Amino acid sequence: MLAESHLGIAQLFSVVLSGLPQLLAALDVPALFPLKRRIGLRRTLAGLRRDELEPFLGHRFGTADAGRVPSAVLDELFERTQATPALIDSVVRKALAAKQGPIDPEEIRATLDVNGL
């Protein structure tokens, strides 16, 4: 019944589905076809693009602290965190807190390793 709708009249309520990529696969089950075809608006959030990484770091940590992260490790940071902003934030925050001054690329790698990334 929740999947049925009459597009000519005002809707009484909306349902928001939020989940991991597996949710999209779950909606592909033939039994859920009536629901899937009535989902009117779809948005998918993805990780950062590579060209957004440095501006993201500048925004989160300020220009001075973002500059402490070596550019030699940015590609690896991007790949190993799968461009997930929360993971990038966590790794860089820990590395910045561990040391004053410029951060060695190996310190970022060690922080990634400790976090299982």
Which two structure tokens, joined as six digits, stand for 97?
């807190």
pLDDT tens digit string along 75-93?
999 999 999 999 999 999 9
Which CATH number covers residue 110?
A: 1.10.8
Q: Which residue has the tokens 């190993």?
A: 80
Give the total number of structural domains in the chain.
2
Of 89, 7, 17, whose CA–CA distance to 48 is shortest?
89
Question: Same domain for 87 and 107?
Answer: yes
Mean pLDDT of 53-75: 93
Mean pLDDT of 21-29: 83
Structural domain of 37: 1-45
Q: At residue 112, does pLDDT exceed 80?
A: yes
Question: Same domain for 40 and 56?
Answer: no
The whole-chain average pLDDT of the chain stands at: 85
Q: Which residue has the tokens 């030699």?
A: 72
Question: Same domain for 85 and 103?
Answer: yes
